[in-house]
Structures are given as structure tokens and as C-alpha cells.
């Protein structure tokens, strides 16, 4: 593997790939331009990979083709088979692979530093390279084990409830301090035990950081792990002397960090409180207590169909329950029938609806919902006061007015949809017993203008469509 100064055409190629990655991020900022954004990203990665293979003696041509065939084949099969509702756990799995790749690169560099051009005149690894290596393997290992736990939680293989260990904050802070201290010591002593201890502790802290985080914070966790994977790649870019990896990792890391900040702001949460975990844990612990019985009205598919047929405007608020029921296609069919009957239909998307950033946008796009009918919270919230019907399907905390009025609520301060201002509210959920991921009751259930549609979201929408067509 060569590490001589790159030629002008190599720097230009990496620069072009970096520009394409920036255009990809810009394109992915909107569903309408997401396809072009993906194409820019693919083109940028192709240029970066080809340039690296030409300028570095990585492996023989058959080995390279074989590796591309295996990886590409797995990716193609996975993309073809994965359901859109399983996208959050797929993203978490991809993040784990990036983390493990960083760990393996750092391990290879440590075991064979001469091949990576990081040996000093004294025959030891350069101190700067040791810092890069230590940070890369630490961030990569944290990303891997944390992403594995996130995958298990999102896939339902592990309880989504916070798992709160005794003295978890002390353990976590102590482990992080030990990792940083060992990385510092690694700059003066490159003994193998230091390197492998950093690796083991990083794998452990990734596990410990994610298990206390509940379902409420999963959108933030996914974007946070995305950021971690970027910084791990950037650190390995320095070790490999690869400009494209540094650019790509920095872009992914910074954009993931910004997205995490946006998610936290949308939930009225601080990044530190997310890392600390346990959101809604106190409420969840007391959820078994008897609740105050309050009067509520039960509606039917026929009630919903009649009221929406008479309406001029209907705003649909989808949530995770829609994803679980895979109701996006029949929901779009319901909206199409209403539009044919002269009803204005819009979709309101909350930044943290679902289990990853953009989860609802992805599902609605899969169901071929027109992009111009989908609106973010700040663009549509003022329209609920003029809406005839607010149709809530599988959402809960993002429409809970306690976020605006109850200072003791764990979701107080989180921006929510003003569905309580709509003339009529239809609330689709499985039962009255369930609460949102924050574990708190919702006053919207008991409002005079609310009708509860208690059923599986997909089945309820199917029944509404049948009623609309009769």
C-alpha cells in the first residue's frame, strides 16, 4: 500500500467525489429530490472507490471483484427484500457494519503499521497516528455495539423499554474516562494490552449507552449512531491517508450531529439527557397503577367516512402505529377516495414520528403519496384551527397537548400538533389501555370532538374505504 503524496488528478477526483457527497446530502433533505441525491451519492462513492483502487495496491483484481460482488450482492438482496417498515433496524444494522469496519482497519494498522506508512524513524507507530487509531477504534466499537442494541430494540428482538442499571451514570462516565485516559497513554506506550483494552472498553460502553434508552429516543439514537459512524470513518481516513474517507466521514459525522440536535430540539430534550437514557422510565414504572376513569366516545368506520365526506379539509397525522400495521398504502387509498369526492387532504409529519428521522416520509413515499401533500410541523400546524377533521393514525405523544400545558409531564415543551383545535378528531389506536412511548395519558382521547377508532390501523382504514365507496 503506497502513501506517497497524491498527484493532482487524484486530489481532483477526491474533490469531485466530495462535491457529489455534498450534493447528495442536499438532495436527501427533501423527498422530492431524494432520488437525485441518492444518484449523486452513488456517483461520488464510485469515483472515490475507483480512484483509491487505482492509486493503492490494495489487492489483486480478482480479489477486488470478488469482494465487490459479495458486498454488492448482499446489499442488493437486502434492499430488495427489506420491508419499508423495517428501515429503522436496517439503518442501525448498516451503522454497525461501518463501526466494525473502522475497528478492523484500526486493528490491521496496529498489527501491520508498516503497510499503512505510519511508522516513525524509531520503528514505532507515530504518536499522532496512535491518537487517530485509538479514536477510530473507540468510536467504531461504540458505534458497532450501540447499533447492535439499537437494531435488537427496533426489530423487537429486545424490549424497547429502558433497561436501567444501578449506578449506570457512574459506570458510563468511568468507562469513558478510562478510554480517553488509555488513548492518551497509548501515545507514549504502544503496548498491545493498551490497544486491546481500549477496544474492549469501547465495545462495552456502546452496549451500556444504548440499553437505558427507550423507544421515545430511538430517532435521536439512530441519527446519533449515524454521526458516530461518520467520525469513525473520518478517523480511519487519517490512518489510511485517504482524503475521500476524511471528507465523507466528516460530512456524515457533522450532518448526523446536526440532525441529532434537530431531533432533540423537536423533543425538547438535551443531547446529554438522551445519552443518560431512561426517558419516560418513571412514567413507565407507574403505568400499572389504576388510572382515573374519564368519559370518551367510541366511533366507527362509518362515522369517520361520513364526517370526512362532509368535510372540506382533512389533515392526517401518521405515527409509528401506522408503520407497525403497514397501513400506509390503504391510508393513501382512503385519501385518494376523499380527494375524488372534493375533500382537501394533507399529511402532517412530526420530526420524531416513528423510530428514525424521516420514517413517516419514507413510508408515505413508498405508498406513492404526492410530495406536495406532505407537510412538516411548522408548515401545517396553524391549519388545524381551520381543519374540519384531524385523522390521527398511530401517533400519540406528538399530538398530546400536555406538552404545552403540563409542566410535570415528561414531554413538556416538546412541539406538538394542535389537533385539539380541529372541529372533529378521529384517533386510530388499538385500545384505550395503551399509551405513547413517553408513558403518559393523552387529553385528546377525552375531548368532546374526539371519536376513538379502536382497531388495527390497516383494518380500520380498509373499513373506512369500504364505507366511503358505498
Which residues are part of the catalytic machinery?
397
Strand, helix or coil at 312?
coil
Contacts with 364 (C-beta within 8 Å, 6 or more apart), sequence order: 318, 328, 332, 347, 349, 374
Please answer whether residues 198 and 183 qualify as being in contact, where contact means their C-beta atoms are separated by less than 8 angstroms.
Answer: yes
Q: Which burial class, exposed, middle or buried, applies to 373 when counting CB atoms under 10 A from its CB (0-12, 13-18, 19+)? A: middle
Beta sheet of 450-454, edge-to-edge order: 374-376, 344-349, 313-318, 389-393, 424-429, 450-454
Dihedral sign of CA atoms 231, 232, 236, 237 in order:
negative
Specify the length of the chain in residues. Answer: 470
Which residues, listed in sequence order, are joined to residue 348 by a DSSP beta bridge? 375
Closest CA to 161 of 217, 213, 205: 213
Please answer whether residues 110 and 195 qualify as being in contact, where contact means their C-beta atoms are separated by less than 8 angstroms.
Answer: yes
Alpha carbon distance 205, 144 (integer Å):
11
Contacts with 65 (C-beta within 8 Å, 6 or more apart), sequence order: none
Contacts with 39 (C-beta within 8 Å, 6 or more apart), sequence order: none
Count each helix (H run) and each strand (E run) in the chain, helices first. Answer: 18, 6
The secondary structure of 353-413, three-state, reads CCCCCCHHHHHHHHCCCCHHHEEEHHHHHHHHHHCCEEEEECCCHHHCCHHHHCCCCCCCC
Question: What are the two backbone dihedrals, phi and then psi, of residue 447, each rounded to the nearest 5 degrees?
Answer: -70, 155
Amino acid at each position: 500500500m503506497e502513501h506517497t503524496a497524491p498527484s493532482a488528478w487524484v486530489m481532483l477526483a477526491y474533490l469531485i467525489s466530495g462535491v457529489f457527497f455534498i450534493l447528495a446530502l442536499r438532495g436527501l433533505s427533501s423527498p422530492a429530490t431524494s432520488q437525485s441525491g441518492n444518484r449523486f451519492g452513488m456517483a461520488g462513492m464510485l469515483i472515490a472507490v475507483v480512484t483509491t483502487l487505482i492509486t493503492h495496491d490494495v489487492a489483486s483484481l480478482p480479489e477486488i471483484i470478488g469482494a465487490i460482488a459479495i458486498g454488492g450482492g448482499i446489499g442488493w438482496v437486502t434492499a430488495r427484500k427489506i420491508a419499508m417498515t423495517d428501515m429503522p433496524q436496517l439503518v442501525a444494522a448498516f451503522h454497525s457494519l461501518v463501526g466494525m469496519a473502522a475497528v478492523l482497519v484500526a486493528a490491521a494498522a496496529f498489527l501491520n503499521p508498516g503497510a499503512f506508512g505510519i511508522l516513525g524513524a524509531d520503528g514505532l507507530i507515530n504518536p499522532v497516528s496512535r491518537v487517530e487509531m485509538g479514536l477510530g477504534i473507540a468510536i467504531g466499537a461504540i458505534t458497532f455495539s450501540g447499533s447492535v442494541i439499537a437494531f435488537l430494540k427496533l426489530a423487537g428482538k429486545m424490549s424497547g423499554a429502558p433497561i436501567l442499571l444501578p449506578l449506570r451514570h457512574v459506570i458510563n462516565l468511568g468507562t469513558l474516562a478510562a478510554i480517553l485516559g488509555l488513548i492518551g497513554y497509548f501515545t507514549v506506550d504502544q503496548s498491545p494490552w493498551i490497544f486491546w483494552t481500549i477496544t474492549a472498553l469501547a465495545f462495552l460502553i456502546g452496549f451500556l449507552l444504548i440499553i437505558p434508552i427507550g423507544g421515545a429516543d430511538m430517532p435521536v439514537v439512530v441519527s446519533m449512531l449515524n454521526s458516530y459512524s461518520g467520525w469513525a470513518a473520518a478517523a480511519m481516513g487519517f490512518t489510511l491517508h485517504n482524503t475521500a474517507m476524511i471528507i465523507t466521514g466528516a460530512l456524515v459525522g457533522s450532518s448526523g450531529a446536526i440532525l441529532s440536535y434537530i431531533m432533540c430540539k423537536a423533543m425538547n430534550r438535551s443531547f446529554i439527557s438522551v445519552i443518560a437514557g431512561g426517558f419516560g422510565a418513571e412514567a413507565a414504572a407507574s403505568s400499572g397503577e389504576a388510572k382515573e376513569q374519564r368519559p370518551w366516545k367510541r366511533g366507527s368506520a362509518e362515522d369517520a367516512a361520513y364526517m370526512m365526506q362532509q368535510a372540506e379539509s382533512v389533515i392526517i397525522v401518521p405515527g409509528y402505529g401506522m408503520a407497525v400495521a403497514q397501513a400506509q398504502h390503504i391510508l393513501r387509498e382512503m385519501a385518494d377516495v376523499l380527494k375524488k369526492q372534493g375533500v382537501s387532504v394533507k399529511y402532517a409529519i412530526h420530526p420524531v414520528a416513528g423510530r428514525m428521522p424521516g420514517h413517516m416520509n419514507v413510508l408515505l413515499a413508498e405508498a406513492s403519496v404526492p410530495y406536495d401533500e406532505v407537510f412538516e410541523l411548522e408548515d401545517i400546524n396553524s391549519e388545524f384551527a381551520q381543519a374540519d377533521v384531524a385523522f390521527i393514525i398511530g401517533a400519540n405523544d406528538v399530538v398530546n397537548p400536555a406538552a404545552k400545558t403540563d409542566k410535570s409531564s415528561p414531554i413538556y415543551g416538546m412541539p406538538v400538533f394542535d389537533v385539539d383545535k380541529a372541529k372533529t378528531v378521529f384517533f386510530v389506536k388499538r385500545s384505550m389501555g395503551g399509551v405513547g412511548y413517553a408513558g403518559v395519558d393523552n387529553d385528546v382521547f377525552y375531548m368532546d370532538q374526539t371519536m376513538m377508532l379502536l382497531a388495527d390501523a390497516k383494518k380500520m382504514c380498509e373499513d373506512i374505504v369500504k364505507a366511503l365507496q358505498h
